[in-house]
Every structure is written in C-alpha cells, then in structure tokens.
Structure 1
Amino acid sequence: MTTSPSLAPPDTTAVPAAGDHSLSGFGYPQQLHRTMGRFASFAAGFSFISVLTTVFQLFSFGYGFAGPAFLWSWPLVLGGQLLVAGCFAELAARYPISGSIYQWASRLGNATYGWFTGWLMVIGQIVVVTAAALALQVVLPAVWSGFQLVGGDPALTTRTGARNAVLLGAALIALTTLVNVVGIRLMSVINSVGVTAEITGIVLIVVLLLTHSERTPTVTLHTGGQSGYLWAFLVGSFTAAYVMIGFDSAGEMSEETVAPRRTAPRTILGALTAAGVGGGLLMLGALLAAPSLSDGRLASEGMSYVLTSTLGDGVGRLLLADVAVAVCVGTLAMQTAGARMLFSMARDGVLPFSARLAAVSRRSGTPHLPALVVGVLAVGFLLVNLLAPSAFLALETTCIVLVYTAYALVVGAMLRRRLRGLPIGAAGDGDGAGDPSAEPVELDEHGEPLFSLGRWGLPVNVLALIYGVAMTVNLAWPRAAVYDPAGGHWYLQWFSVLFLAAALLVGAAYRLRRR
C-alpha cells in the first residue's frame, strides 16, 4: 500500500508558486505526460457530456413522461449546472490535480470527506461508461440492420435487443480500454477528432431539423395532456440532468494539460455551455420536425425516428453514423475520467491494491490498471442489463444520483470554507491539520490572475448548493413510474435510495477497516 503524499498530512503543503506547472507543491511527482492543449482539454469535457449520445438515448424518456413541455427543464438544469461549473472552475485553477472531485473535496474538507466523495463519484463514473456503451444499440441497428447481430427486435427493452446491446457495448468498452492503455496522445487525438465530428453533426442536424419544421415553438407549452408543468419539469429534468454531467473532466485531466490553471477553468465552462446550447437546439428541432407528436413513436424511438422519418433514410442514417462516432468517443472520455479518479485515489493509498493501481507506464505516461478495472467493471454492469433490464434502468438513473451527490459535497465544502472567511486556494483547512493562513496562488501560468467569480463567489456558491441538493433529491425520489415502470417491485422503486445507502455503508466499512 502506498503512502499518501497528499493526504498524510493533506493540507500542510503550500500550493505551488504562481505559474508553476509542477505537482511538487501538492506532494506528487509529475508522472503523467503533459501533452494536452486547450482544445483537447475542451474535448475531454465536451465528449464526456456527449450531447449526441445522451440526447439520442434519453430524449424519448423525457418526452414520454412530460410531452413537449419537458424541453423547459433544459435551460433550468443548464442554469443550475453553470452555477456548479463556476465553482468548479475556481477550484480547477487552484488545484490542477487528476481526480479533481476527490482532490477538491479532500482539500476543502478532510481526507475522509474526500474519500467518500471520490468513492461515490467513481461508482457513478463506471456505471455511466456502461450506459454510454449501451447507446450503440439505440443507433447502430438504425444505421444498418446488420448491426443487430443476434437477430430479432433491436429495441433495448426486448430480449434480443438487450443481448445485442451487451455484444456491441462490450466490444466498444474493449476498444476504449485499449486506447486508454496505449496512452494519452492517442486518446487525445481520437477525442479531438471525435468532438469535431460531433459538433459538426450537431450543427447539421439542428439546421436540417429546423428547416423541416412541421409546427411552431408554442408546442413546447404543452405536456401532451399527461401532466401539469410541475411534473413535466421534475421528471423531464432527468434527461437534462443526465446529459449535463462530466464537464469537470477537463479538471480530471489537469496533470496532462499544458497550463492547467489557465486552461481547465475555461474549458470546464466552455464545454458545458456548448453542450447545453447544442443539446437544447437538438431537442427543439426534433419537437418541431417530428412527423407526429401523438403516434407513440417519438416516445418509444426518440431522435432516431425523427431523423430517418424526416430527413429520409439516406441522410438520416448518415447522421446517425455521426451519432455512433459520438457514442464511441463519449465512452472513451468517460472511461478515461473514471480511470484518472481511480489513479488519483490509489496514489494516495486509499484503495485496495493502491500500489498497482497507481503505477504509471514510463513509455505511455498512463496508468494502465485503472483503465482495465473501469473497463471490466463496466462490462460487468452490461451483464446486469442482460439479466435484469429493469434493475439496470434503475441503476442507470441511480448513477446520476451518485454524481450529483459528489458534486454537491464539493460545492458544500467550498461554501463552508467561504463562510469561514478562508481563501479557496490556501493550503489546509479540513480537519484543522493544515495551515489555513497559507497564501493562495494568485496568477496562472501566463502571469494573469486566476479565474475567479469575485464578489459573486458567495451567492453563486450558495445557489449552486441549493440547486445541487434539490436536484439530487428530485433524481433520487422513489417514483414508481421512473424506477419501477412495470410495477410490483418495491425495491426497484426505492433502488436509488437503497443503492446510495449501501454504497455509503460499504465505503464506511472499508474506511473503518483500514483504520
């Protein structure tokens, strides 16, 4: 087991001098290869969000529950997440370390607080990898029927669709694992090319759908007669909440980014803003261009149905192929982020087999084992979808609860520090072991002031925490219609709450055992 250079004691070490790229001030050697530029950093966050992947995967979910009015949850969630991203941007400038969520929580709170935050986050990231890989089943059979390898109905809810999804998803995860093992240069190139293709695809799809509109935007004022506006927002927000996570990945890759104090804050905000605007326009275009809002196909087939039926099979399938590229690149980015989280925690000696998980290849400058662990566990969750699709649906939603909980824990620790009158970037606070009077870094690598919310910092932090807690409660609320649509399984209805409690108990047991 390794000894933590950061968390033992975590906060007594001063933050590195202004403009310093090294990690020595945080107690770490520079092991990962620092090769990522600004666009690659942006791509890391944008591809994790992966607008095309998640919108195509979850559009039908939001529409099925709340009708066209579910679109209004999008700007509300985007606004809330921008508050969170603003807080994260400040932290990324002051703590440019891999495993951002875990590291930020550890340094703003204490080692135990950070461990639980990282524990919840890494579980959520692994399940997100599985969910993203499953999105191939939504897209590829619609591009070409030959991708339905096992024959039968390709719908994910069917037995044949679930089996095929496991095959496609496992193949994709094997490929992304290989790319992660090869090294950051290949991953960065693939990510950048994929994000360029995704942005191009978003622009083309939006333009084509808006030029094929069948109705006016006033349709978004209707819920389809199924519910009121409050229900439309609360349940419809699941789609937006699921899409707009992972923007912190630019911070996850800080140790591999050139000038991270300057780059990461801007790419965190830029990735979320671009994804939010692009995703909102995609869904608006689909609602306006769909041949019918009432024949049931929009709620069951979602965006794939809109593209092929509105634009024709040829153009529709070509654009769906671009969506498939986005799915692959998004899965790669999600796995990379999860691997860096495992690496960061293992480097501090707080996980089983930490020494092996923290080992970095000298040739590639990449931690190989964390990528393999994330890949194997993600494939394991694929099998859950095969054996019990309803349970995986509940698990898929629950993973977002875990991510939102981790986000709220970071924002809460940050607010506590502000209320105590301590600078965010000073060394040490937490359990009192550090030196809260240490001077914070004030300049980035270019000699410019670090990103700061200034006098808006406190109100933004307060609103970000209120939003984060409220959205976490909304996502975790035991709605039978969401977690147990077939009915008759109380444990599925309460799955989110039970899983979160179990994760905390298992984490607590492991933490106590180590002590």
Structure 2
Amino acid sequence: MSPTPATPTAPTGSDTDSDAAHLASLGYSSEFKRDMSPWANFSLGFTYLSPVVGVYSLFAYALATGGPPMIWSFLIVGVGQLLVALVFSEVVAQYPVAGGVYPWARRLWGRRWAWMTGWIYLIALLCTIASVVYGAGPYLASTFGFAPTVNTAIVCSLAILALATVINFLGTRVLATAAVIGFTAEIVGALAVGGWLLATHRHHNLGALFDTFGAQGSHSYLWAFAAAGLIGVYQYYGFEACGDVAEEVPDPGRLIPKAMRRTIYIGGAAATFVCLALVLSVADIPAVISGKDADPVTTLLDQAFGTVGSKVVLGIVLLSFLSCAMSLQAAASRLAFSYGRDDMIMGSRLLRKFSQAKHVPPYALLLAAIVPAVVVVGSKISTDALTKVISFAAVGIYLGFQMVVLAALRARLKGWQPSGKYRLGRWGLPVNIAALAYGLLAIVNMCWPRTPGTPWYDNWIVPLSAVVVVGIGLLYMAVHRSHGRSDAPYDDAIPKAAALPGS
C-alpha cells in the first residue's frame, strides 16, 4: 500500500524550488523554512504521541478497570489508527499545507466543513496542552521535593508551558533539534526502564496478560475491556502533527506519510513495551484493582529504583511531558496560523503575522500558550472544573480526525483520485471505510457513560463537552461569517465534471 521508500537525502536547490512550486500551485507562498529533517518530523509526531506520557498517565486506571488484558487494546487501536494515518497520508501528499486537518478538510469538502473541523481540533489541542502540562506538574514538584499543593502544581505546570513556548519561539531548527532530543531520551528511557523492570522486578509471566484478576466483577469482561481500552484510544494520536508542519519539511509529499506510519509503528511498539513491563512488574495486581494501590507506577518505581534511581526516571518522564507539550504547541500554532492566513476567524490579522527572524507565527504561538495557561490557572478555582474542560481533549481530536476521514470518503465517492506521491490505489476506498468505522466506534467508546453513581452531567461529561464546543462553533459561524469571506482555495479535490449537481 506504500510506495517504495527512497533513501533520504539533503534537500537541494531544485528540491526546494519543487516544493515551493507545488505549494504555489495550491495557492500559497510559504514563509516557513524547510529546516525539519525526516527524523525530526517523525520525532515531532512521536513526542506528541509520547508513549511515556500516555502510559504513565492512564496505567493505574486501565489496570484497575480491566486487569492485565487491557494491554491488547494497544494492538487493536494501533491497527485502527494506522488506517486513519493511511487516509491522512494520501491527503497530505496531495495537499502539504501547514495546519493539518483544517486545510485538508478545506480542500476535500469546503469552507464551512473546514472551519468546524479546525475549530474542534484547535480547542482539543489547547485543552490537551493544558492537560499535559498539568499532568507534568506533580512530577516536577516531586523531583524538586515541593509540597503537592494546588498552587505548586499550577506553578510547575506554567513553568513547563513557558519552557515549551520558548523552544517553539526559537524557530523550526531549534524545535526540530528539541524534538529529536526528546524522542531519543524518551525511547532510551522507555527501553531502559522497561528492560530493568523486566530483568530485576518481574513478578508475573506472560500468562498474566490473559488473566483478568476479576476486574470485571459480576459483569461481562467486554465492558471492562472497552473501558480499560481507553489507554490505547488515548495513546495513538500525534502522528498527524507530522503533517501540521508540512511547509517546514523538504519533499513533504513523500516524507510526511512515511513519518506518520513510523510514528504509529515505533510509538505503538514503545507504548506497548512500557505497559508490558509495568504490568508484569506490579507485585500486587489485585490491590490495584481493589483500589488499595491507587498509584502503582510510583509504588513500582520507588521499589525498583530506590530514591535516587526514581529521581532519574522522573527526569525522563518530565522530559517526555515537556517534549509532548512542545509538539502540541507546534501543531496548535500552525493550525491557528493556517486559519489566520485564510482569514477564517476573528483575529486573523494577528494570527497570520510571521516572524521573519525566527520563521514562526508569534501570535499563533502565544495563543497556544495563553489559553492553556488560563485553563491551568483555573484549577485554583476548581480542580473539578479543570477536569471538565480537558475531558473534551481526546474526543475532540478524534472528532477532528473523523471529519477529515469522512470528507475523504465523500470526495472519493464523488470522483476524487489522490494525486500525491503517496497513493493507496485500489485499497483507498476500503481503507477509508474501515478507518471511518473504527473512528466512530472509538468515539462511542470515549463518550459512553461509566459512572452511574455520579450526577448525570458528570456521567455524560465527554459527549456534553463535545456538544458545547460544536454548539459554540455553530453559533460563531452564524454570527461572524468570516468563513464565507475567505477566498483561499477550497473544495478542489473533487473534479468539477464529476461533482454531483448542487454540491
């Protein structure tokens, strides 16, 4: 399904001219510098996906909910998200434009669909940035021995957010270098920590991966597995960030699809290995399931590495959180810049401004720092309110994904023939249908209420948050019709001769 890979080479003048000519044919003249190498582009997606952040954040919940078999969700979700990545690969190969899902939806469907796709995805990204830096706060506080108070968590979170912002402001080359460093530290750390746990602290054999330890209670294990499988669902996104910076990568039509698939393969394998090492090394799994050990990761690291060793591991974890926040910011800022460049939203005059010195969109980057900072500071008023805000993060990203997948399917049925350097050929339609089916099932799983003892609005918080975000977006579109004034190219994937009447 993929073209024969070519050996990566440094871009020549003719390569750069070809990239610029392709972009010009799509209606844009880029101000970004193509300083991001293929490995840096992959590293950006990998650090956004971040196996350490994803696994360490949800391991306790997943193990308590579904027992060790929850690890199989990584395989199931990995295959599903690979299908999505293959659809994205065809689209970005033909439309290598900064901003990712927004410009893709614009070319596949139209301005209104693109506006809503970008709106949902941008809000989800900003909430995800807030959730990542807030999740890193306790680790930073623990590393330096600070008391675990709300104020300490906020200060530590803002410190990580500020550092990620500074790195992004230093330009594409520094961002690329930081992404590669983050990838190297995270993959080496994941392998080293996992290898050490398996070699010195393993308490179970592989048979434990098929033992639920009674996690399902009196109910069918299918429901417990579906709930615990959220660890896989929340893990496998980030590959799309490779396409968000398409104007900063040489030969993007060939290299970005490869980076997306590599992110799924290597990121998924690393996440599965980390989870495997943790599962087999937890001494008392029933204690985790019963709630007696609410933080098995910290318990395990303290037991396996001691005070000094656990500090080193915490340092790797912190670097992973920083790299993840940095990559998320890069993706969010390019999306906001793309919105502004097309004059699609209030504040476009600022969002489309570009720093010629650093070759970054400064105001779009500020947006990707200020909004998450406000969300984090809001935890001072109510930590519960923060939880409600960021509950939209993952489902919003999946919604943005599936709006592009649906747009691609609609375009295929109307005659779109992908013409980029990466094409699925006759596999395009079945892969597209399977990707849409998977994504819809994943969204239903995320939205399914699982806390019957709580007030109804808490039980339904994930779908309710999605309804609120979409509702605000629709209201904005009705009141401030900027999307209708944008004259940037749109709806040009479908051959006009093949388009249905009235489309």
Fold-level similarity (TM above 0.5): yes
Please tell me whether residue 338 in structure 1 is matched to residue 332 in structure 2: yes
Q: CA offset at residue 17 of structure 1? A: 13
Contact 1:61–1:299, Cα closer than 8 Å, also in 2:
no
- Paired with 1:177 and 1:257, the residues of 2 have a C-alpha distance of 21
Please tell me whether residue 30 in structure 1 is matched to residue 19 in structure 2: no
* 1:194-343 superposed matches below 5 A: 194-212=182-200, 213-227=202-216, 228-296=220-288, 300-343=294-337
Query: TM-score, with normalisation over the residues of structure 2?
Result: 0.87
Please tell me whether residue 490 in structure 1 is matched to residue 456 in structure 2: yes
Q: CA offset at residue 99 of structure 1? A: 0.8
Which residue pairs with 1:104 in the alignment? 104
Which residue pairs with 1:76 in the alignment? 76
- Alpha-carbon spacing, 1:470–1:301, altered in 2? closer, same or farther (3 Å): same
Which residue pairs with 1:6 in the alignment? none
Please tell me whether residue 383 in structure 1 is matched to residue 377 in structure 2: yes
**Deviation readout 1:397-453 (Å, 9 max, x if unpaired):** 3211111011011011111122233213xxxxxxxxxxxxxxx44xxxxxxxx1222
1:374 to 363, 368, 373: 368
Contact 1:391–1:492, Cα closer than 8 Å, also in 2:
no
SS in 1 for 2:165: helix
Which residue pairs with 1:131 in the alignment? 131
- Paired with 1:42 and 1:27, the residues of 2 have a C-alpha distance of 26
- Alpha-carbon spacing, 1:417–1:299, altered in 2? closer, same or farther (3 Å): farther
* 1:56-205 superposed matches below 5 A: 56-144=56-144, 146=145, 148=146, 151=147, 154=148, 160=149, 162-205=150-193
Which residue pairs with 1:428 in the alignment? none
Contact 1:398–1:496, Cα closer than 8 Å, also in 2:
yes
Q: CA offset at residue 202 of structure 1? A: 1.3
- Alpha-carbon spacing, 1:298–1:263, altered in 2? closer, same or farther (3 Å): farther
Number of aligned residue pairs: 460
Which residue pairs with 1:419 in the alignment? 413
- Alpha-carbon spacing, 1:42–1:35, altered in 2? closer, same or farther (3 Å): same
Q: CA offset at residue 299 of structure 1? A: 5.4
- Alpha-carbon spacing, 1:384–1:478, altered in 2? closer, same or farther (3 Å): farther
Deviates more, 1:23-32 or 1:268-277: 23-32
- Paired with 1:393 and 1:418, the residues of 2 have a C-alpha distance of 39
SS in 2 for 1:178: helix
SS in 1 for 2:477: helix
Contact 2:19–2:250, Cα closer than 8 Å, also in 1:
no
Q: CA offset at residue 388 of structure 1? A: 2.5
Deviates more, 1:360-369 or 1:503-512: 503-512
**Deviation readout 1:230-263 (Å, 9 max, x if unpaired):** 1232111211111211210000011011111111
SS in 1 for 2:350: helix
- Alpha-carbon spacing, 1:100–1:299, altered in 2? closer, same or farther (3 Å): farther
Q: CA offset at residue 298 of structure 1? A: 8.4
**Deviation readout 1:115-165 (Å, 9 max, x if unpaired):** 100000000000110111122234334444x2x2xx2xx3xxxxx2x3322
- Paired with 1:110 and 1:302, the residues of 2 have a C-alpha distance of 48
Please tell me whether residue 461 in structure 1 is matched to residue 423 in structure 2: no
SS in 1 for 2:212: coil
Please tell me whether residue 509 in structure 1 is matched to residue 475 in structure 2: yes
Contact 1:67–1:222, Cα closer than 8 Å, also in 2:
yes
Q: CA-atom RMSD, angstroms?
A: 2.0
Contact 1:59–1:303, Cα closer than 8 Å, also in 2:
yes
Query: TM-score, with normalisation over the residues of structure 1?
Result: 0.85
SS in 2 for 1:350: coil
Which residue pairs with 2:451 in the alignment? 480
SS in 2 for 1:323: helix
- Alpha-carbon spacing, 1:280–1:337, altered in 2? closer, same or farther (3 Å): same
